[in-house]
Amino acid sequence: MNTAQFTSKYKPKNTSEVIGQDEQLKEIKKNITDYNKKKTKKALLVYGPSGTGKTSTIHALAKELDLEIIEVNASDSRNTDSLEQKILPAIKQQSLFGKGKIILIDEIDGISGNQDRGGVPTLIKFIEESSFPIILTANDPWDQKFSSLRKKTVMIQYKTINILAMVKHLKEVCIKEGIKIEDDALSVLSRRNQGDLRAALNDLENISSSNKNIKKENIEDTSEREREETIINALLKIFKTKDPAIALRAFDNVDEDINKIFLWIDENLSKEYTNEEDLAMAYNQLSEADVFFGRIRRWQYYRYYAYIYDILSAGIALSKKEKNPDYIQYKPTSRILKIWMANQKNAKRKSIALKLAANTHTSASKAFHDMPYIKAMSKDKKLMGKIADELKLEKEEIEWLKK
């Protein structure tokens, strides 16, 4: 059984399967095939909203042109040294397979920030020195820091995918997956995702995992982008992306207590991140977020919440080298249940300790720790009777002392 996510399972295998970007595809193909004839603007900057097919187009085109593709995610290579280590060998060496190459530097939005000094000048250096076509992708290339980079590239804009094209593609997926869905439901799903096919596929997969007969009201209840999203959707955005722009929005519409968010991430992190280094880095991010949470509790400095959500989303998303291609069923934390069971187990001990503290004029903490002595004394039936009368113990509390 193929358990791959819909977004992976149904990504374009060839250029004919790329949806809604025909003109853009032709321009990319022309620039690649004419690369050696060009004197200026030899690199491409493909930009547009998430889920419109930027990266999958390049992979499909490389396969069609029989070109080796060297892909680097800029979000994981923020400084000059790490970029050079990954790109320089690729732009200077011939392909091991005797093929041509495409150098794909994905998600350059991720090189923004103080840690990225030298990132953009390094990209320009690659463009000037490369013997092979370089293609950059971005969601928003209009930041001031990209001004010099824009001058060196042919910019190709990807548009949001047409609603009718999305409906058609989603319907084909439903047929292949054995999902029965109303046409109205497909239209609502497509409109609500505003041209983001990847998001629509994720919503379809989430809904169909528990319901193979989908009606319009099911979509309205669960897939609206403006609604309060479930923690499952938030985890998908964090664990299954390396795009910080996507990850940072993960909790925007999630109405969940921050304590539970910590527990959800903690419970599912080790299932998703199977590489030890990735897992260690992700847990380091989780612990750093907890440090800020502790400062909020101590100092009531609520501005730290912004740091916490950034770390829990983008920080953890960027901790991994590669996305896990397997489908992971996220589950609620078992720690809450364990805490509840422990509390239930200690509930009678606490209630007896409070009565003991009130009668002996001691702290509840000291009375709680003295309980083993009370239990030992309760083995004497006469003494047990006096203790029960003095503390006004309930029947269940007396039974607990006798055990």
Q: Please calculate the CA angle 125-131-136 and round it to the nearest 5 degrees.
A: 55
**Given this model, what pLDDT does residue 83 score?**
73
User: 173 lies in a domain?
Assistant: yes
Q: Domain check: are 134 and 68 in the same one?
A: yes
**Given this model, what pLDDT does residue 399 score?**
80
Short-list 344, 372, 342, 340, CA closest to 356: 372
Q: Domain check: are 107 and 83 in the same one?
A: yes
Mean pLDDT per 10-residue interval, the chain, length 403 residues: 73 90 93 87 90 91 91 66 76 71 85 56 88 90 85 92 90 94 89 84 84 83 49 86 85 78 90 92 93 82 82 93 82 66 70 84 82 82 84 80 78
Q: Domain check: are 43 and 111 in the same one?
A: yes
Question: What CATH number is given to the structural domain containing 30?
Answer: 3.40.50.300
pLDDT tens digits, 200-224: 898 888 888 878 888 888 787 654 4
Q: Domain check: are 111 and 131 in the same one?
A: yes
Q: Domain check: are 88 and 208 in the same one?
A: no
Query: Domain boundary residue among 157, 184, 210?
Result: 157
Can you tell me whether residue 181 is helix, strand or coil?
strand
User: 382 lies in a domain?
Assistant: yes
User: 328 lies in a domain?
Assistant: no
DSSP string, 4-69: --HHHHTS-SSGGG--S-HHHHHHHHHHHHTGGG-SS--EEEEE-STTSSHHHHHHHHHHHTT-EE
User: 112 lies in a domain?
Assistant: yes
Q: Domain check: are 173 and 153 in the same one?
A: no
- Residue 177 CA to residue 172 CA, distance in Å, equals 9
Give the alpha-carbon dihedral of 323, 176, 13, 41, to 10 degrees: -70
Question: What CATH number is given to the structural domain containing 181?
Answer: 1.10.8.60
pTM here is 0.56
Amino acid at 100: G
- Could you report how far apart the first and last alpha carbons of the chain are, in Å? 51
**Given this model, what pLDDT does residue 97 score?**
64
What range defines the domain where residue 306 resides?
Answer: 242-317
Residue 196 contacts residue 50 (beta carbons within 8 Å): yes
Q: Domain check: are 153 and 32 in the same one?
A: yes
User: 167 lies in a domain?
Assistant: yes
User: 274 lies in a domain?
Assistant: yes
User: 323 lies in a domain?
Assistant: no
User: 73 lies in a domain?
Assistant: yes
Q: Domain check: are 143 and 182 in the same one?
A: no
Query: Domain boundary residue among 222, 256, 273?
Result: 222
Query: Domain boundary residue among 113, 131, 157?
Result: 157
Q: Domain check: are 354 and 392 in the same one?
A: yes
Q: Domain check: are 148 and 29 in the same one?
A: yes
**Given this model, what pLDDT does residue 79 score?**
54
The number of distinct structural domains making up the chain is 4
